Every structure is written in structure tokens, then in C-alpha cells.
A and B are shown apart, each in its own frame.
Chain A
Amino acid sequence: MLSLNELWFVLIAVLFVGFFFLEGFDFGVGMQSQLLPANEKQRRVMINSIGPFWDANEVWLITGAGAMFAAFPNWYATLFSGFYVPFVFALFGLILRGVAFEYRGKAQSAGWRKTWDLSILIGSFLPPFLLAIVFASFIKGLPIDGDMQMHASFFGDIVNVYTVLAGLTVILLCNVHGLLFTALRTFGELQDRARKRAQVLLLPTGALLLAFVIMTYFETDIFEVRGILLWAIVLLGIVAFVLSGYFCKKKRDGWAFGMTGAVLGLSVISVFVGLFPRVMVSSLGEAFNLTITNSASGHYSLKVMTIVALTLLPFVLGYQIWSYFIFHKRLSDKETLEY
């Protein structure tokens, strides 16, 4: 049986897998909506394709952070105060993005739209890029002292070759994932463009992924710690990635989309598997690691949270899946374009 601490570690991992799978595609659509479309109408169609979903997708992140706060307060406290400046940028991105979707369609002038389009681009780039940096530095290790305080330098501890590589890899993955979502939700010229662009991007994405795996082998201890299990995840990731290329070529957009989502999900899983039972690795010595024991809430609190979460989760998943079902049809030519 899982202990409650382990269960909450798994639940938080699930929330972040869900977040990267779901918001991964709307981040990708956000970026590509500024790079791919041939005209304004295609751009509107693209942005509207994620219209009913992006807000709820973002809540996966908010719930993930909330669950960290509730189940592992020391993890939450060390993480958010330690990554102060990156989080300012990430939050700034989320602010821009959230209002940009809502506001860009509310006035007609070209300057107005250009401003919000730029906001969508920045706002869709910054959060996944910075979160990938955060996740990569979890396993690389950060200067966390005996008081669980993190004193990281912005350049060096947080921003370095390894973490930036992680950031760029995730950005490219999100772009491909988003393009495949576009292919899934539209038809005609836009769909063709999206598929083609996805195919072009797959190659550099694969190269970055490979480089990231190799660098992870040398920069972190997670292959040492987990051995065969981690290799299995990497292998699954490679299979999923190759399959996404195959399905994309065969124009089976749904399957291709599922596979890039799987690659994103497996990347997050590999971080959590590599971390366990730690939640943050200290570069100052093993004794200073934050773990699922020393950063956790009390047993009572975890028990209450578990009951609440397991009661609510089926409903949440139920109506979210239902909302995807409501909007499952490709955007038709009679569509009302809100954004």
C-alpha cells in the first residue's frame, strides 16, 4: 500500500502530467497561432479552437501548486521563494495570456489585435519555458541549506545549459503538440499547414530530446538511482515519439496528438520517478534534500485531503471529459469566432 505521503507525491505528479499534456497543446497553439496562419481568419480559428479549454487546463497548474501547498508546505515554500524571479516572469506571462485571449476579439483595430497577439506569443512561451527550467533544476539540484531555504543564483543555478535545454525541448514539444491539435480540430488549408509544420518541427524536437536525455545522464543522478525503470520510461518515450511522426505522416491526427502528449507526460513522469522520495535535490549535500517526509503536512491533514480529493476527482474528470466531448467536432464554417 502507498503511504499518504507517497499517494500525494503521485497525485501531484498526476496533476503536472495532466497540466503538460493539456495546457501543453494550448501553449503550443498559442505560439503557433502567431507563426502558422496564412491570414487573420485562420488565426482566429486557431485561437478559438482552444477557447473552451485553455482556462480549465490552466487550473491543473493551479491545483498542482495548491496540492503542493497543502500536502508538502515546505516544498511549496522553498520552491516559490527560491524561484522568485522566474516565477515573476511566468506569472507575467500567464497574466498577459489570460487577458489576451479574452480581449483580442473585443475591438477591431489592427494595432489592438497585434498587441494582444504579441501577448499571446509571450504568454504562451514564458510559462512552459520557465516551468521546464524549474523541473529540470529539481533533479539537477539546487543550493538548499539546512533551514530548507534555497539561495540560488539566477544565472548558474537556475539558468544554465542543462535547464535551458530542457526549456527549449519542452517549447518545441508544445509547438508540435499544439500543431497536431490544430490538425485535429480544423480542416482544409489550415489543417494541411499544421500537419506540414508539425512534420518539419519533429526532427529538431527529436534531436533536442535526445540531447536532453544524454545530458540528464551526465548532469543528474536519476539514472543511477532508478536504473532500469528510468531506461524503460526513456524507451517508451522514444517509441511514442517515433509513433507520433509515423501517425502524423499517415494523417492520423488523433493518434499523433496522443503520442506527443505521451512524450510530454513521460518527461514529467521521468522527473518525478527520478526525484522520489525526494521532492527537491540539494546541491549542498544529501542531508539537505527535501523529501516526501520532511516537507510534508501532518498525517491528519493528508488524510482529510485524501478523502476530499478522491471524492471530487471523479466529478472533475467527468465534466472535463464531457466538455471536450461537447466541442469535439472540427470547427465548422458556421462557427462563431469569439476571440
Chain B
Amino acid sequence: MDVLMLSRMQFASTTIFHFFFVPVTIGLSFIIAIMETMYVRKGDEVYKRMAKFWGKLFLVNFAIGVVTGILQEFQFGMNWSDYSRFVGDIFGAPLAIEALLAFFLESTFIGIWIFGWEKVSKKIHLLSIWFVAIGTTLSAFWILAANSFMQHPVGYTINNGRAEMNDFLSLITNGQVLVEFPHTVLGAFATGAFLIIGISAFKLLKKQDTDFFKRSFQIAVIVGVISSIGVAFAGHWQAQYLVKTQPMKMAASEGLWEDSADPAPWTVVASIDPENKMSSHELKVPYVLSFLSYSKFSGSVKGMNTLQSEYEQAYGPGDYIPPVRTTFWSFRIMIAAGMAMIFITLWAIYLMWRKKMDQPNTKFMRICLTGLLLPPIANTAGWTMTEFGRQPWTVFGLLTTDKSVSPNITSGQVLFSLITFNTAYAALLIVLIYLFVKVIKKGPNGVDEESEHSTDPYNTKE
């Protein structure tokens, strides 16, 4: 395989793996901050135990998020050096600000949070988890601002064969980031919430620490219902922005070859044949695509064939159609997972409202447990659609992926890194699951056992 293909695999595997952990970090840090706030305000020890127990899982997850994040930053230069040269002027700035503003904040205060339970006052300790939560969110904003430039370049001029920044304000108020940020962050909140919902459901099924997990469940359900409904709204705005700025991605995610009818129906499923540029066996719901695209029940959406010829005129000859099947199906998987999340949290709210939580029905609790998998599926599918749908561009309209790759690296080198890192990812995943199971099995009362209080730390003969 060539350097380009291997580098794409490297990028995809690193990004997808990294993004299993980032949303958990963002979501859990906020929910833990809420729990600790309740502890400080109400003085009820159970909330402290909550912060500590969920904090254990948070830290196990946080560690992988951090180490794969370093890889993310370095791989732009390692595998995509021509991309880095082309956009460094613009893309580097948000990354550097991310490090300066967000990484320092979260790494310093996570240290204070872990090691400060007996060293700083309750309020300072609470403040430190809030700083961690704010830090992770700021970090998301800056990396998404960078990503948004790739989706929809703004605030630049082309100078000396590269993109140069000429308007920082428009870079960080890019319409793309204004829709991408809420969508991603609300998705992250939902991810954290569903982790707690799922694990709590499991413990409630086993009837262990019922009070503790019932309360955790309730906090998470409230966060979950708000964020999973919010994520759908944000997604709707994002779709409308997409039609305006990257119509090809929208057409591909609909499997739409020719311009749609007016009003446009939404395709639920279809069999897509990219070779012959056609879709068959389509199941359609009338009006919905018009609504998705324009928030009204009329309007036609451009198809890929029309756009292909438009793009050829604008950018010269070439194939501007992204991998249609991947884009189409990842969009549907994301939506299905998102709908299921809304359904589960609404049902849970109903149970809480009807005070049926005391004898929760086992079937629903089992659904909640499986629901744990929904956010990672939705997150991965969402990013797959976003990034695959942008192909063949790295920076939309400006730079293609094949011109972004490092010209001076060999496929042997990339294969070596691909194997090294993917082996590490696999090992980390196994370790993570092992530790999660261990922490969950022990439950909230086992949390303090491991960190030992020693009386004679330095001279003990073991």
C-alpha cells in the first residue's frame, strides 16, 4: 500500500480511537462537577462518594484521552507535512491556543483534584473539577475551530502558495464551528450521561448499592435527556449549514445522484451503486429532506451529478464525489443511535416522574445497560460522515488529501507506526475494560481501599 492510503488509515484509527475517550472525558467531568457541587452545597457524603466513584472511571478514561491526544497533535506534522505547511498559519494557531488555554488548565487542576482531597479546602477542590470540565470544553472548542476551517475555510487569503490568516475573529466565529461545537459538546454530555446511566442500571439490576446508583442514575438521566434532545436540534442546524457550504457532503449522505424533487423526500434506506452512479430500493419519507435542509417543507436539494459538474468547472477536472456508501450509512447510524438515546432518556424521565424507580422493570434496565454503546456509535458515525464526506478535500475547495501527505516518508515507516500504535490501542482498550469492570465490581464502597494510608512509608520492610 502507498503512503497516502496508510497515512489515511493511521489518521482514521488514531482519530476514532481518540474520540472514544474525549466525549467521556468532557461529559463525565461535568457530571462529576455537578455531583461535587451538590456535596459542597448539601454536605451529604453520598455525593462525595459519587464524585470519587465516577471519578475513578473518569481517570482511567482520561489517561487514554491524554496520551492519544498527543498523537493527534504530532501526526499532522509526521504524516501530513504538506498540509501543515499549507495551513500552519491558520490551523496552528487554534492548536497552540488549545494547549495554552485548555491543556494547561485541565492538566494542572486534574493534579490538584486527584491529589488534593486532603490538601485544599472543599471549595478549592470543587473549583478544580470545574476548571477541568471547563478546560476540556475549551479544548473542544479550539480543535473544532481548526476542524471547521477544513470544512469551511474562512478568514484567509492565499499567499505564496499557502493559506494565510487575515481575520482571526471570523476564524473563531466561523458558522461551521458555531454549529459543530454545540453538536459535539452536547453529544459528549450525552456520552458521559449514558455511561453513568448504563452502569447504574447494571448495578440496580444486581441490587447493589441501590440508593447510590438510583441517585446517580437520576442525575445522569437529567443531563442525558437535555443533551440528547439538544444534540438533535444542533444537528438540525448543522445540516442546514451543510447544505449551504458543503452540498456535496449532503448529497452523498443522502445517496442523491440527481437533483431531488421539490419538496424533497428523505431516504431512509437505499442500495447504493457508486460505479453506475445510482441508488435503488429506496424507502423515502416525503418532505423530510426539505425540512432537514431548509427548515421548511419545500425546496429541492442538489444531487451529486449536478455538483460534480459544478465542481469540475470551479476546481478543474477530477472526482469530487466522496465515498458515498460510507457517508450515507454513517449518517443513518448516527441518527438512529441519537433517536434511541432520546427515547431511552424520555422513558427514564417518565419512570422517575411516575415514581416507578423503586421497582424499576428489568427489561428497561437492560435497555439502559445496552444504551451505553449508543453514544460511541453515534459519535464515531458522526465523525465518519463529517470527515469522509469532505473527501477528496482536506481543506474544502483549497487542498486535496493526496496533496497533503508528507512527501518524504516511506510506506515502511508508516506501516511501522500503524502497527505500533494500533497494537497499543488494542492493548489499552483491553486494559481499560479490565479496569472498568474491576472498579464497577468493587462499587462505591471499595473506592478508597486501594489508595493506601500508610503509617511508616519509607522504612517498612515488606
A residues contacting B by CB (< 8 A) are 39-42, 44-45, 48, 51-53, 55-56, 58-59, 62-63, 65-74, 76-82, 84-85, 87-88, 91-92, 94-96, 98-99, 101-103, 105-108, 147-151, 186-191, 297-298, 300-301, 304-305, 308-309, 312-313, 316, 319-320, 323, 326-327, 331, 333-338
Q: List 8 A-B contacts (CB under 8 A).
A: A87-B78, A105-B450, A308-B100, A326-B112, A327-B115, A335-B454, A335-B457, A337-B451
In-complex Cβ contact of B451 among A95, A312, A336 (8 A): A336
Interface pair A326/B108, CB less than 8 Å apart: no
Instruction: Decide yes or no: A76 and B92 within 8 Å by CB, A327-B115, A333-B454, A335-B453 being known contacts.
Output: yes
What string of 1s and 0s marks CB contacts (under 8 Å) between B408-424 and chain A? 11000110110011001
Among the interface residues A55, A94, A189, which one has the most CB atoms of the partner chain B within 10 A?
A55
Q: How far is the CB of B411 from chain A (nearest CB, A)?
A: 12
Residues of the A chain whose Cβ atoms lie less than 8 Å from the Cβ of B450? 105-106, 108
Interface pair B96/A63, CB less than 8 Å apart: yes
Q: From residue 69 to 119 of chain B, which have CB atoms closer than 8 A to chain A?
A: 70-71, 73-74, 76-79, 81-82, 84-85, 87-93, 95-101, 103-105, 107-112, 114-119
Q: How far is the CB of A196 from chain B (nearest CB, A)?
A: 15
* B206 at the A interface (CB under 8 A): no
Q: How far is the CB of A212 from chain B (nearest CB, A)?
A: 27
Interface pair B455/A52, CB less than 8 Å apart: no
- Bound-complex Cα distance A308 to B95 (A): 12
Interface pair A297/B92, CB less than 8 Å apart: yes
Interface pair B457/A63, CB less than 8 Å apart: no
In-complex Cβ contact of A301 among B90, B414, B452, B454 (8 A): B90
Instruction: Decide yes or no: A308 and B97 within 8 Å by CB, A84-B417, A297-B164, A331-B457 being known contacts.
Output: yes
- A interface: dominant SS: helix
Nearest 7 A/B pairs, CB to CB: A73-B88, A80-B77, A70-B92, A52-B111, A69-B92, A81-B81, A77-B81
The segment from B59-67, B282-290, B376-384 found at the interface with A is B59-67
* B345 at the A interface (CB under 8 A): no
Residues of the A chain whose Cβ atoms lie less than 8 Å from the Cβ of B84? 69, 73, 76-77, 80
* B295 at the A interface (CB under 8 A): no
Instruction: Decide yes or no: A70 and B104 within 8 Å by CB, A87-B74, A95-B71, A326-B112 being known contacts.
Output: no
Residues of the A chain whose Cβ atoms lie less than 8 Å from the Cβ of B117? 336
Q: How far is the CB of A111 from chain B (nearest CB, A)?
A: 13
Instruction: Decide yes or no: A305 and B81 within 8 Å by CB, A95-B67, A188-B459 being known contacts.
Output: no
Interface pair B81/A94, CB less than 8 Å apart: no
- Bound-complex Cα distance A45 to B457 (A): 7
In-complex Cβ contact of A80 among B66, B81, B87, B439 (8 A): B81
Residues of the B chain whose Cβ atoms lie less than 8 Å from the Cβ of A304? 93, 165, 168
Residues of the B chain whose Cβ atoms lie less than 8 Å from the Cβ of A320? 104, 108
Instruction: Decide yes or no: A55 and B67 within 8 Å by CB, A84-B78, A106-B450, A308-B100 being known contacts.
Output: no
Interface pair B96/A67, CB less than 8 Å apart: yes
Interface pair B420/A66, CB less than 8 Å apart: no
- Bound-complex Cα distance A201 to B160 (A): 52
Q: How far is the CB of A182 from chain B (nearest CB, A)?
A: 11
Residues of the A chain whose Cβ atoms lie less than 8 Å from the Cβ of B78? 80-81, 84, 87-88
B residues contacting A by CB (< 8 A) are 59-60, 62-64, 66-68, 70-71, 73-74, 76-79, 81-82, 84-85, 87-93, 95-101, 103-105, 107-112, 114-120, 159, 164-166, 168, 406-409, 413-414, 416-417, 420-421, 424, 428, 431, 435, 438-439, 450-462
Interface pair A41/B458, CB less than 8 Å apart: yes
- Bound-complex Cα distance A305 to B420 (A): 35
Interface pair B413/A84, CB less than 8 Å apart: yes
Interface pair B458/A91, CB less than 8 Å apart: no
Interface pair A74/B88, CB less than 8 Å apart: yes
Residues of the A chain whose Cβ atoms lie less than 8 Å from the Cβ of B460? 39, 41
Q: How far is the CB of A279 from chain B (nearest CB, A)?
A: 13
Instruction: Decide yes or no: A81 and B107 within 8 Å by CB, A40-B462, A52-B115, A305-B93 being known contacts.
Output: no
Interface pair B74/A80, CB less than 8 Å apart: yes
- Bound-complex Cα distance A149 to B85 (A): 11
In-complex Cβ contact of B81 among A78, A189, A297, A316 (8 A): A78
Interface pair A69/B408, CB less than 8 Å apart: no
Task: Across the interface, name the chain A residue whose C-beta is closest to B417.
Answer: A88
Interface pair A102/B59, CB less than 8 Å apart: yes
Interface pair A312/B100, CB less than 8 Å apart: yes
- Bound-complex Cα distance A91 to B420 (A): 10
Interface pair B165/A300, CB less than 8 Å apart: yes
Task: Across the interface, name the chain B residue whose C-beta is closest to A323.
Answer: B108
Q: How far is the CB of B67 from chain A (nearest CB, A)?
A: 4
Interface pair B431/A103, CB less than 8 Å apart: yes
- Bound-complex Cα distance A6 to B413 (A): 34
Interface pair B165/A55, CB less than 8 Å apart: no
